[in-house]
Amino acid sequence: MELFWFILIALVLAIFFVLDGYDFGTGIIHLFFAKKEKDKKVIAKAAGLFWDSNEVWLVAAGGMLFMAFPTFYASVFSGFYLPLIIVLWLIIFRAIGLEFRSQFNNEMWTSIWDKSFGVSSLLLALFFGIALGNIVRGVNLGSVENGKSLHEAHYFFLPLWDSSFSPLSETPGVIDWFTLIIGIIAVVTLAIHGATWIRLKTEASINKKLKTVIFNLTIVLIVLTVFSIIVWQIVNPNSLNNFVERPYLIVFPLLYLIGLFGLLFIKKIKKDNHGFILSTLLIIGGITSSLASLFPVILPSTNTINESLTIYNTATENYGLSIAFNWAIVGVILVVIYFIIQKRLLKGKIDKMDYGH
């Protein structure tokens, strides 16, 4: 049952980053490339019509974590308290930026909320990437100092950064040079995803230009990917062992590579949905590859005193997992029905759809 819930939660998180990921990416494109008011309006609409339903998947993932892996949930929600509060505020400002911009036809008013939408989206992509960097790097479980554990084995608390700014520190912070690299990769990836979404859902005047933007960002992402794998070996020399011991896991990096190298041909791709599929593979492959590299660990320990958190030592009792399984089936069916109805109502280009009035 632990494996089932791990796969289900990983799937829900991947869906969240695919769906709300294009909202983040749309905000990044809006911030840097949308110059005309007509483009700003329609690009904001491409996120505004979808953001609230897309965040349902994040709420669902949090609820499943609380139910299936309560020790892990308690550990990360206390340990990452500071960045979680920052993310919460960014989500709020991203939402009100989208909802408020069209309430008044005033240049200063729309400019303020455009910046709120764009900057919040950029920082959300960055912080979610940094969060992934923390998961693959590991944390100082038990707050070990001088060989002694100061707290319970699953407890930790991270400052935003420490003075060394190094992932190799005994007491690393949330942000260091390694997690920052992963954060930048997330920003670039979601910017690509947002650009493919804008091309798919709008007739914005910058759509042709976005093909060049996607191509250039893909080149940057290839360089960052190679660089991150190299530095990952410095931070965790055993990071690729799982792919050697379990060769079938190589399917996840392959998804990432298909998406990555497929986007190099974006200028030749005629159908907009093909570009969106490739950027979706990029996100799914990246997230699943990271989780597969750790499995069955879900939060590594950077010290040798306390063991890493796994899907087995953080899971609730089998009885609870079994009972929740029945309700999960009902929940998944309802969410899928909701998702299908929403996508059918909002299918096709959204340029002439009403929003924000």
Helix then strand then coil, % of the chain, to nearest 5: 70, 5, 25
Instruction: With beta carbons less than 8 A apart as the criterion, state whether 306 and 156 touch.
Output: no
pLDDT over 70 at 357, yes or no: no
Averaged pLDDT of the chain? 89
Distance (Å, whole) CA 219 – CA 216: 5
Query: Which regions of 174-296 does DSSP assign to beta strands (E)?
Result: none
Interhelix angle 272-294/2-33, rounded to 10 degrees, is 130
Listed by start position, the domains of the chain span 2-345
The CA distances from residue 206 to 40, 126, 141, in Å, are 10, 24, 48
pTM of the predicted protein model: 0.92
Per-residue pLDDT tens digits for 56-78:
888 888 888 988 899 999 999 88
Quick: pLDDT tens for 330-352: 888 888 888 788 778 888 887 77
pLDDT tens track for 288-305:
999 999 989 999 988 888
Q: Please state the rounded mean pLDDT for residues 124-142.
A: 92
Which residue from 194, 186, 62 is spatially nearest to 125, judged by alpha carbons?
186
Give pLDDT tens digits for 248-283: 999 999 999 999 999 999 989 888 899 999 999 999
> For 81-93, how does the pLDDT look when each residue is reduced to its tens digit (9 = 90+)?
999 999 999 999 9
Predicted confidence at residue 335, as pLDDT, reads 81
Give me the sign of the Cα torsion angle 70, 72, 77, 83: negative
